[in-house]
C-alpha cells in the first residue's frame, strides 16, 4: 500500500508512492533490493530510531518523525556504509537524495500521512 506524505507546514509533498515497512521482515529488508529510488517514492519505517546503510547501493535523504508526525531531524544524502540515529523519533522516511532540499523540510515541520 502506498502513502502520500505532505509537509503541512511548507505545503509541499515529500512523496506520493511511499511504502510502509512495519513488520520485522520489511524493516530489516528495507530498500536493500533497490538500486535507486524514483522521485516521489520512498520507504516509511515504523517504528524506527535509526538506520544503517550497510550493503546499500545508493545514497538517501532521511527524515526522522515523531509519533505526532513532527519532523525531529533531517539527514541529507547519507551514503552507503553509514549509520544514522535519532533517539527522539518514532519513525524514519527514506527518500531520494534531493527531497530535503526540494521541499525545504526542517525539524519542527508537521507532516500529514494519507493512504494513496
Q: What is the pLDDT of residue 116?
A: 86
Instruction: Report whether pLDDT(76) > 90.
Output: yes
Tell me: cis bond preceding 47? Omega within 30 of 0 counts.
Answer: yes
Q: What is the full DSSP assignment across 97-110?
A: TTHHHHHT--TT-B
Neighbours of 76 (CB within 10 A): 13
Residue pair 99/62 in contact by the 8 Å Cβ criterion: no
Question: What's the average model confidence in pLDDT over 57-74?
Answer: 99
- pLDDT bin (cut points 50, 70, 90) of residue 113 is very high
Report the number of distinct structural domains present in the chain.
Answer: 1
Question: What's the average model confidence in pLDDT over 43-63?
Answer: 98
Instruction: Report whether pLDDT(112) > 90.
Output: yes
* Boundaries of domain holding 39: 2-115
**Domain of 8: which CATH number?**
2.60.120.1140
Residues 83-100: tens digit of each pLDDT: 999 999 999 999 999 999
Amino acid at each position: 500500500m502506498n502513502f502520500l506524505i505532505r509537509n503541512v507546514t511548507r505545503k509541499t509533498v515529500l512523496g506520493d508512492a511511499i511504502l510502509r515497512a512495519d513488520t520485522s521482515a520489511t524493516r530489516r529488508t528495507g530498500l536493500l533490493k533497490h538500486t535507486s529510488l524514483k522521485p516521489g517514492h520512498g520507504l516509511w519505517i515504523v517504528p524506527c530510531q535509526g538506520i544503517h546503510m550497510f550493503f546499500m547501493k545508493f545514497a538517501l535523504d532521511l527524515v526522522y518523525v515523531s509519533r505526532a508526525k513532527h519532523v525531529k531531524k533531517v539527514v541529507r544524502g547519507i551514503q552507503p556504509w553509514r549509520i544514522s540515529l535519532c533517539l527522539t523519533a518514532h519513525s524514519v522516511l527514506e527518500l531520494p537524495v534531493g527531497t530535503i532540499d526540494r521541499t525545504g523540510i526542517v525539524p519542527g515541520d508537521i507532516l500529514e500521512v494519507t493512504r494513496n
